[in-house]
Amino acid sequence: MSAFAVWDEGEARALLAGMGRGQDKVLPMLQALQARYGFVHAAAVGLVAAAVNVSRAEVHGVVTFYHDFRTAPPPARVIRLCRAEACQAVGCEALVAEAARLGVAVDGPPAGGVAVETVYCLGNCALGPAALVGGELVGLLDADGLRALVAGA
């Protein structure tokens, strides 16, 4: 079961109404909507634009600029794999190849309800390769560990 609420335009409108009207609110509003619904629904762009009196194009630009915004419901499980320098030095790219072998291309579309996404440093460099899964840090990740994570273990 998803941890996110089902998109509800009326509820989203009420959520935005309590956040002020300044143009500096675009980013926090989008973040709040994504936190609530798991992604930025297409209708949310117009709601945010109206709430702060900017164009839909400007809001859409913010959504597409920031990699963390999703425009579709998130997969059931997201594995965020660190590919920064320290983790590269201890083999994270082999895990990228392993993910592809498992049918889940890193930064590609979800497969089987699983997505593997690139992140750059999780602050767990001493225990690399590192990943973040469901808010939990995973260290010393190897191919067996990645297979288990993809399988949902």
- Cβ 80 vs Cβ 67: under 8 Å: no
Angle between helices 26-37 and 9-17 (to 10 degrees): 140
17 to 56, contacts with ligand FES by CB under 6 A? Answer: none
Minimum CB separation of residue 128 from ligand FES in Å reads 5
* 137 counts as binding ligand FES under rule CB under 6 A: no
Q: Which residue, 109 or 123, is less far from ligand FES as judged by CB?
A: 123
CA distance 105 to 107: 6
Q: Which residue, 75 or 128, is less far from ligand FES as judged by CB?
A: 128
63 to 122, contacts with ligand FES by CB under 6 A? Answer: 82, 84-87, 121-122
CA distance 85 to 37: 33
Q: Which residue matches tokens 């840090």?
A: 137
Binding site for ligand FES (CB under 6 A): 82, 84-87, 121-125, 128, 130
